[in-house]
Amino acid sequence: MYHSKTQQIIDINMKKIFILLAGIFLMTGCTLDREPETDLADSNFWKSETDLRGACNKLYIDLPGFSHDQRSEELEGKSQNGVSSGNRSVPGTASDWSDPYEKIAVCNNIIAKGKNVPVEQTIKDRWLAEAFFFRAYHYFDLVKKYGDVPLILKAFDTTSDPDIKRGRDPRETVIQQCYEDLDFALQHLPEIDDIPEGDWGRVSQSAALGMIVRIGLYEGTHKKYHQTPGGDYKAHLQKAIDAAEEMIYIRKDHELYQNGFEKLFLHDGEGRQNKENIFVKVYGPLGTINHNNSRELESTVSMTRNMLDNFLYTDGLPREKSQVRPLTDISIDDIFINRDPRLAMTIYHVNEKAYKGPYKPFETNSQNHPFGYAIKKGFILEEDQSNSGSNDKMIIRYAEILISYAEALYERDGSISNPKLDDTVNLLRQRVGFNVDLTNEFVLAHQLNMLDEIRRERMVEFIDENLHYDDIIRWKTAEKVLPVTILGLVYKPGESTKTEAEMVGKITEANGMFKGEKVYDQSNIYVLEEAESRSFDPERDYLYPIPSEEIALSGNNIKQNPKWGNAKNN
CATH of residue 14's domain is 1.25.40.390
Q: Which of 214, 30, 64, 57 is nearest to 130 (CA)?
A: 57
> Are 47 and 129 within one domain?
yes
Are 110 and 208 within one domain? Answer: no
Nearest to 248 by CA among 213, 215, 221, 216: 213
Q: What integer best gives the mean pLDDT of the chain?
A: 89
pLDDT beyond 80 at 501? no
pLDDT at 300 over 80: yes
- For the segment 163-171, the average pLDDT, to the nearest whole number, is 96
The reported pLDDT for the residue numbered 159 is 78
Task: Tally the C-alpha atoms within 13 A of residue 184's C-alpha that lie toward its C-beta.
Answer: 20
Residue 229: predicted pLDDT: 86
Q: How many domains does the chain have?
A: 2
249 part of a folded domain: yes
Query: Residue 211 pLDDT more than 90?
Result: yes
Give a yes or no: residue 350 inside a domain: no
Q: Is the pLDDT of residue 234 over 70?
A: yes
Residue 40 has pLDDT above 60, yes or no: no
pLDDT exceeds 90 at position 440: yes
Domain presence at residue 561: no
- Which one-letter amino acid corresponds to residue 320? E
Length in residues, the chain:
570
In a domain, 353, yes or no: no
* pLDDT of 543: 98
- In this prediction, residue 207 carries a pLDDT of 98
* pLDDT above 50: residue 1: no
Give the pLDDT confidence of 337-356 residue by residue, as tens digits.
999 999 999 999 999 998 87
The pLDDT of 288-297, averaged and rounded, is 89
Place 367 in a pLDDT band, splitting at 50, 70 and 90.
low
Q: What pLDDT score does 507 carry?
A: 87
Do 76 and 140 lie in one domain? The reply is yes
Mean pLDDT of 144-148: 98
Same-domain check for residues 413 and 472: yes
Q: Quick one: pLDDT at residue 370? A: 66
Q: Is the pLDDT confidence value at 235 over 80?
A: yes
Q: Give the end of a domain, one of 189, 213, 231.
A: 189
Q: Is 517 helix (H, G, I), strand (E, B) or coil?
A: strand
| Percentage of the residues of the chain whose pLDDT score is greater than 90 | 78
pLDDT of residue 287: 53
Asked if the model's pLDDT at residue 500 lies above 70, the reply is no
Using DSSP's 3-state secondary structure scheme, residue 165 falls into helix
Pick from 443, 464, 483: which residue ends a domain? 483
Nearest CA to 285 among 392, 198, 393, 378? 392
b/e 515-544 (16+ beta carbons within 10 angstroms → b): eeeebbeebbbbbbbebeebebeeeebbbb
Q: Is position 445 within any domain?
A: yes
Distances (CA, A) of 13 to 45, 286, 517: 14, 37, 63
Residue 348 lies in a domain: no
Q: Is the pLDDT confidence value at 12 over 50?
A: no
| Of the candidate ranges 13-17, 174-178, 529-533, the one whose mean pLDDT is the lowest | 13-17
168 and 24 co-located in one domain: yes
pLDDT at position 483 over 70: yes
- Residue 230, pLDDT > 80, answer yes
User: Is 175 or 22 the better-scoring residue by pLDDT?
Assistant: 175
Decide if 229 is inside a domain.
yes
Q: Using the 3D structure, point to which of 146, 162, 189 is the last residue of a domain.
A: 189
Question: Is it the case that residue 401 has pLDDT exceeding 80?
Answer: yes
Specify whether 54 is located in the same domain as 177: yes
**Domain assignment of residue 1, yes or no:** yes
Tell me, yes or no, whether 12 and 71 share the same domain: yes
Query: CA 224, CA 232: separation in Å to the nearest integer?
Result: 8
DSSP state of 155: -
360 falls in which pLDDT band (50, 70, 90)?
Answer: confident
pLDDT digits (tens, 9 = 90+) for 448-471: 999 999 999 999 999 999 999 999
Report the pLDDT value the prediction gives residue 288, as an integer from 0 to 100: 66
pLDDT band for position 505 (cuts 50, 70, 90): low
Helix segments in 189-232, DSSP class H? 205-226
104-136 tens-digit pLDDT:
999 999 999 999 999 999 999 999 999 999 999
Whether pLDDT at 490 is above 80: yes
Rounded-to-integer distance, Cα 111 and Cα 132, Å: 8
Neighbours of 246 (CB within 10 A): 17
37 pLDDT more than 60: no
Question: Do 277 and 176 share a domain, yes or no?
Answer: no
Q: Are residues 78 and 37 located together in one domain of the fold?
A: yes
Specify whether 217 is located in the same domain as 179: no
For residue 103, the enclosing domain spans 1-189
Paired with 339 in beta bridges are 313
The answer on 206 and 180 residing in a single domain is no
Report the pLDDT value the prediction gives residue 434, as an integer from 0 to 100. Answer: 98
Contact 166, 132 (CB under 8 A): no
What's the whole-number mean pLDDT along residues 147-153? 98
Weakest mean pLDDT among 56-60, 158-162, 390-394, 542-546: 158-162
> Does one domain contain both 56 and 21?
yes
